[in-house]
């Protein structure tokens, strides 16, 4: 066993997952096909626009928002009108509740801060009846993309310093290892080292193979 958990991808999703695991005291092997210079993935280049609902920034600008209005907007795009839409709908509701409640404090506690003006992205028809956000909800991270990556990268690097996190860069996952219906590990190709700048194309030349296993969940 190489760690309690293996996280594939050191983009923002992988960094947040790893940070959560570190805060819970678990060991993590963080695997990414690119070099360490690419940490943060797309989020580094993003605008850092964060979805929050009924925030102080919105209220200061006179924007009236609520869980009901967001769900109406979300339904306007996604519909959620098929049987198989059950889990996406439940996920949307959980995420909207998070974005209305805990999310702001969750980010702030980790050192994230916001530009005071709320933008209006994905506005669709800009009507509460149609698709898209009917009010501005696009909260811009102070420092844009790097400002959203930094708090989580910091926790992950602290985890490395504390011996909880190990990095495996230039490790391309090709396959999940499944035992008795449970994913227990990953296998793939070790790629040759690269000195390419962040996000520049990199070589796919393999110099070896790897297999890592993690603790199966009970
Ligand atoms: C210019 C731009 C602006 C944006 N602006 C915003 C915004 O303002 N607000 C917003 O919410 N979103 C925005 N986005 C979208 C947002 O940045 C992305 O949705 C988000 O960063 C994706 O994070 P991720 O960790 O899921 O994926 P990624 O950042 O793509 O990370 C995936 C990681 O997994 C690694 N990987 C992939 N396959 C393998 C494999 N087989 N083996 C090993 N490693 C692998 C990759 O190398 C990468 O490091 C923007 C995106 C761009 C490009």
Domains plus CATH for the chain?
A: 5-44+150-213 (3.50.50.60), 49-142 (no CATH)
Ligand 1 contact, 17 CB (< 6 A): no
Residues 165 and 154 sit within 8 Å (Cβ to Cβ): no
Atom of ligand 1 nearest to the CA of 144: 8
Question: Do 192 and 204 meet the contact criterion of CB atoms below 8 Å apart?
Answer: no
| Beta pairing partners, 171 | 190
Gap from CA of 47 to ligand 1 centroid (Å): 12
Q: Which residues of 190-202 are buried (b: 16+ CB within 10 A; e: fewer)?
A: bbeebeeeeeeeb
Which are the contacts of 127, defined by CB distance < 8 A and separation ≥ 6? 134
Q: Is the CB of 146 under 6 A from ligand 1?
A: no
Distances in Å between the alpha carbon of 174 and those of 37, 59, 126, 134, 168? 21, 47, 42, 41, 14
Beta-carbon contacts of 131 under 8 Å, excluding residues fewer than 6 positions away, are 73, 76, 77, 124, 125
Report pLDDT for 125.
75
**Ligand 1, atom 4: nearest CA belongs to which residue?**
46
Please give the number of the atom of ligand 1 that sits closest to the Cα of 14. Answer: 25
pTM, two decimals, is: 0.95
Q: What are phi and psi of 91, to 5 degrees?
A: -65, -45
Q: What is the pLDDT along the chain (218 residues), one digit of tens a residue?
A: 789 999 999 999 999 999 999 999 999 999 999 999 999 999 999 999 999 999 999 999 999 999 999 999 999 999 999 999 999 999 999 999 999 999 999 999 999 999 999 999 988 876 777 789 999 999 999 999 999 999 999 999 999 999 999 999 999 999 999 999 999 999 999 999 999 999 999 999 999 999 999 986 65
Return the DSSP state at 202.
Answer: -
Do 44 and 147 form a contact (C-beta atoms < 8 A)?
no
């Amino acid at each position: 066993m190489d760690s309690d958990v293996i996280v594939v991808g050191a983009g923002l999703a992988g960094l947040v997952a790893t940070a959560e695991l570190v805060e819970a005291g678990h060991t993590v092997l963080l695997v990414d096909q690119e070099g360490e210079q690419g940490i943060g993935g797309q989020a580094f280049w993003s605008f850092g626009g964060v979805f929050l609902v009924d925030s102080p920034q919105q209220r200061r600008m006179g924007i009236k928002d609520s869980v009901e209005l967001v769900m109406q907007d979300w339904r306007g795009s996604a519909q959620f009108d098929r049987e198989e839409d059950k889990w996406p709908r439940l996920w949307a509701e959980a995420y909207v509740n998070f974005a209305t409640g805990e999310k702001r404090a969750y980010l702030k506690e980790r050192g994230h801060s916001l530009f005071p003006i709320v933008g209006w992205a994905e506005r669709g028809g800009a009507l509460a009846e149609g698709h898209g956000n009917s009010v501005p909800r696009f909260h811009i991270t102070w420092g844009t993309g790097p400002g959203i990556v930094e708090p989580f990268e910091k926790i992950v690097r602290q985890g490395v310093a504390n011996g909880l996190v190990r990095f495996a860069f230039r490790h391309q996952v090709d396959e999940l290892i499944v035992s008795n219906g449970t994913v227990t590990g990953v296998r793939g190709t070790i790629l040759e080292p690269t000195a390419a700048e962040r996000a520049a194309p990199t070589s796919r030349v393999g110099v070896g193979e790897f297999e890592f296993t993690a603790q199966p969940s009970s």
